[in-house]
Amino acid sequence: MQRFIPLIIVSALVLLFLGMMLSDRNPKEIDSVLIGRPVPAFSLESLAQDAPVLTEADLKTGKPVLVNFFASWCVPCRAEHENLMVLAGQYRIPVIGIAYKNEADKARGFLSELGNPFAKTGLDLDGRVGIDWGVSGVPETFLVDGEGVIRYRHWGPIVGDSLEKRLLPELERLQ
Amino acid sequence: MAGELGHFSLILALIFALIGATVPHIGAARGDARLMALGDRSVFAQFLMAISAFSALTYAFITSDFSVVNVATNSHTLKPMLYKVSGVWGNHEGSLLFWVLILTLFGALVSWRGQKLPLQFRSRVLAVQSLLVVGFLMFILFTSNPFLRLDPAPLEGNGLNPLLQDPGLAFHPPMLYLGYVGLSIAFSFAVAALLEGEVTPLWARWVRPWALLAWVFLTGGIALGSWWAYYELGWGGWWFWDPVENASFMPWLAAAALLHSAIVVEKRDALKSWTILLAIVAFSLSLLGTFLVRSGVVNSVHAFATDPARGIFILAFLGIVVGGSMALYAWRAPKMAPSGLFGVVSRESALVVNNIFLSTFAAVVLVGTLYPLFVEAFGAGQITVGPPFFEYAAAVLMSPLIVALGVGPLLAWKRGKVSRAFQIVVPALVVALVAGTVLVWRTSGGYVMTAIGFGLAIWLLASVFLEIASRIKLWQAPGKAWARFAKITRAQWGMSLAHAGLGVILLGVTISEAFTTEDLRVMAPGDTATVAGYDFTFEGVAPVAGPNFTAVRGFFTVRGGGETLTTLTPEDRVYTNPVMNTTEAGIYPLIAGDLYAVIGEAAGAGRWSVRLYFKPMISALWLGALMMMIGGILSLSDRRLRIGLPTGKKKVQAITRGAA
């Protein structure tokens, strides 16, 4: 019997790997534990002058909103910016932008250069709010329903077919 | 033109490999010497074709022929020549071609130097090796062809990942590949032995040099990788227990176990079935590493751009090669009955202990690496297994191994006496205990592990020294000690040096982990920070332009003991193609340790965030690895172990008698 043990182990491992490869998963993506939970409480200064502070109350509007963590130093954020403009313009989804570990004037420069898709903005300079939301890097985008509950987390930039294949179906389900 | 030539060579190589993988088996079954001899010609032909294909790709890289997709996506005209060449194996397709080149090279070497092996056995070995070549060539031709054309050709290439544009990393992958592929020979020998149904001491004599060669390359590859991580990733770490690092460490452990257990097969004709299994496992772990890097199953900084078709293909290959050989093992293992016996206290038993710990450690690393996959597969969420798990396993499993390693070489073959062995090492034990206790006393509390690590390292170094001393009878007959000293064979020096190398590494790990001084701060030009008694003065920054990057270079003048030691120049580089940010640490090695500086982000008003370290004895890590490699090479160059069969029988006997 002993002599069959290596063969059994190898067969089990091959089956495991096969299962992992056939399943549609991205090992870089970490499941968010916040799905189905209310958004964490926060209060952030706005990037716009004289605008009121951004709090979790701004996310409970009765309509789904997107919360996008971005930074001017982040190259993938640049890549997904066009899609954020489309979401805000064409699909009329309020997008809330939180500048993550980014100085205010640099974040403002980023938005004036590429256009501002954000209905409201917040400045998370030390990244504390990012930690509460479980952000592992920018960009990350959260879909929050009208009651302020996180419904979907999009890891990485919204580029390629991920807008149509992943984010929009999630939005439709909510609407 | 070169591209088509390379492509054509690969197809020819596949045809030769297919012939080489089948015909010799038919010959062996029929007892037809001519068919068996075809195996030799086939491996030479495969090797020539692989050289031709590899040269074609290298030519395309050197001349920046962007009509080849692979060159266009991985090279750039502005790249320095070294990185144009290293770019050949710095990508998925090219690295597979490199695998094939080495597979066929080693096959040709076996055929060339193995003329004295029984024809039937040699043809089986070469046929198994050819089968591996077939698998890799099919993988290349069907999923990862490096010679595909691009029309129209772009004017400029995409450039190589900047992290790979580094002398350490230019040679880290090929060293590892040489190690992985070196184990393929041990694998082919094991499978051929299973097919033939017998393992002889001669078999072990043949496999051991290959296991040793592979182990030397793996040691070098792993050391280069950790050295690179140390100076390039910029936070002073050198080992991360990343899945892909583990994937290179597991074959290393298995190869280390294999080259020790092969000694027992050779000397005592025992442990045969276990050694065969180890030879298969060692190469299987190499293949597993290749699979993990290229399939996208695990997340790692080392992962290649992945493609599901490739993953499935390499998994199928892995399943056939490893599953097939394990099935063969299950069928044939009962034939591997040992003929020699050895006592409980003997060098052989010490080697068994070595094997138990090394292979257990390899198994633990395997479980730790794959555990997150198991958990996810059974729907229990995502977890990661971090360094604490591996470090704990390393401490628990390696400590007894090192204690045994001190005693093992002192035991006699077949039947030894513990008492006699201990007599020799008692002084070493005392030295070690004293050293450990002193450290506990000096640092009081929280440093028990440091004390244990330090004690073990000293124990190992002292017992290596005492083993040499007892071999030359330094204490009993000092007059003739020099004559005996000169007679120590290279194989024995190799063993002592490699074992001492492990001690040096342990010393480096223990001291640097426990006593590193780290300082994170924001500095303005003219500021001085004192780290571990060294004064780092920040002189400011200057922009620097490289061939394909721009950088901010910081200047730190370091003073210690009243004099200026050096100026450290860490850089923060931004590569243009592709755009990527890398750090280059400024490092100055002193005998006591490394001065290490990293420049971070600008903090406004001319101030910069910087990280300064003093890492005591960190160089011992690479020095120890180098000692291990030199030890391995010394042992390989010993006449008795030289790749090939020993020629002068008399001499061999004389040497073995001298060693016994």
Judge whether residue A23 has pLDDT over 90: no
Average pLDDT score over residue span B585-607: 86
Q: Does A174 touch chain B (CB under 8 A)?
A: no
- Cβ-Cβ contacts under 8 Å for B331 (sequence gap 6 or more): B194
In a domain, A88, yes or no: yes
CA atoms within 13 A on the CB side of B295: 27
Q: What is the pLDDT of residue B556?
A: 93
CB contact under 8 A, A21 and B297: yes
What the block records as the tokens of B156 is: 């400029």
Using one digit for the tens of pLDDT, what is the confidence trace for A117-131? 998 899 988 888 888
**A73-86: average pLDDT:** 86
pLDDT of B577 reads 67
- Whether B311 and A21 lie within 8 Å, measured CB to CB: yes
Kindly tell me if the per-residue pLDDT of B547 is higher than 90.
no
Q: Provide, as residue numbers in chain B, all residues whose Cβ is less than 8 Å from the Cβ of A13.
A: 370
Q: In this structure, what are the phi and psi dihedrals at residue B384, rounded to the nearest 5 degrees? A: -125, 150
pLDDT at residue B487 is higher than 50 = yes
Residue A100: pLDDT over 60 = yes
Say whether A7 and B323 touch across the interface (CB within 8 A): yes
**Residue A14: inside a domain:** no
pLDDT digits (tens, 9 = 90+) for B237-288: 888 888 888 889 999 999 999 999 998 888 888 888 899 999 999 999 999 8
pLDDT band at B380 (very low <50, low <70, confident <90, very high): low
CB proximity A41 to B under 8 Å: no
Residue B381 — very low, low, confident or very high, per pLDDT cuts 50/70/90? low
Residue A91 domain flag: yes
Of B60-64, B100-104, B347-351, which gets the smallest average pLDDT? B347-351
What is the rounded average pLDDT of the residues B166-181? 86
Residue A17 is assigned to a structural domain of this protein: no
Query: In DSSP terms, which residues pair with A155 in a beta bridge?
Result: A140
Which residues form the domain of A126? 29-174
| CA angle (A12 as vertex; A6, A15 as ends), nearest 5 | 140
Q: What is the mean pLDDT of residues B343-364?
A: 86
Nearest to B457 by CA among B620, B276, B246: B620
Whole-prediction pTM: 0.82
Among B residues 295-354, those touching chain A with beta carbons less than 8 Å apart: 295-299, 308, 311-312, 315, 318-319, 322-323, 326-327, 329-330, 333-334
pLDDT, position B322: 94
**H/E element, A98:** strand A95-100
Q: Provide the pLDDT confidence category of residue B302 given band limits of 50, 70 and 90.
A: low
Closest CA–CA distance from residue A91 to any residue of chain B (Å): 32
Q: Is a pLDDT exceeding 70 seen at residue B539?
A: yes
**Chain A: nearest CA to B324, how far in angstroms?**
8
- Residue B447: Cβ-neighbour burial (10 angstroms; 0-12, 13-18, 19+): middle
Q: Minimal Cα distance from B328: which residue of A?
A: A7
CATH code at position A98: 3.40.30.10
Residue A65 lies in a domain: yes
Is residue B639 over pLDDT 70? Answer: no
d(CA B87, CA B295): 21
E strand or H helix at B584, and its extent? strand B580-584
Region of poorest pLDDT, from A27-41, A69-83, A141-155, B110-124: A27-41
Instruction: Tell me: pLDDT of B348 over 50.
Output: yes
Q: For B511-530, write each residue's pLDDT tens digit.
A: 888 888 888 888 999 899 99
The reply to whether A160 falls in a domain is yes
Across B6-33, average pLDDT: 94
The 10s digit of each residue's pLDDT in B67-78 is 898 888 888 888
CB-side neighbour CA atoms (13 Å) of A50: 0
**What's the mean per-residue pLDDT of chain B?**
85
Query: Residue B448: pLDDT above 50?
Result: yes
Q: Is the pLDDT of residue B457 over 80?
A: yes
What is the mean predicted confidence (pLDDT) over B397-409?
Answer: 83
Q: How far apart are CA B455 and CA B461, in angstroms?
A: 10
Confirm whether A24 is domain-assigned: no
Q: Which segment, B40-54, B159-173, B332-346, is predicted with the most confidence on average?
A: B40-54
Predicted local distance difference test score (pLDDT) of residue B446? 52
A18 touching B, CB under 8 A?
yes
Residues in chain B: 660
**Does residue A1 lie within any of the structural domains?**
no
Taken as a whole, chain A contains a residue count of: 175
| Coil/strand/helix, residue B236 | coil
Q: What pLDDT is recorded for position B414? A: 75
Tokens linked to A96: 């809330």
Interval A63-91 mean pLDDT: 87
Which of B311, B329, B334 is nearest residue A6 as measured by Cβ atoms? B329
Percent of chain B with pLDDT over 90: 37
**C-alpha B16 chain-centroid distance:** 30
Token pair listed for B337: 């009955």
Task: Read off the pLDDT band of B420 (50, 70, 90).
Answer: low
Note the pLDDT of residue A126.
Answer: 84
pLDDT surpasses 70 at B637: yes
Q: What is the pLDDT of residue B648?
A: 40
Is it true that the peptide bond before B209 is cis, omega within 30 degrees of 0? Answer: no
Between A23 and B367, residue with greater pLDDT = B367
Task: Please give the pLDDT value at position B218.
Answer: 95
Mean pLDDT, residues B218-235 taken together: 86
Instruction: Provide the domain count of chain A.
Output: 1
For helices B2-30 and B119-143, what crossing angle results, to 10°?
A: 140
| Band of residue B304 on the pLDDT scale cut at 50, 70, 90 | low
Rounded average pLDDT over A13-34? 72
Average pLDDT estimate for B72-100: 88
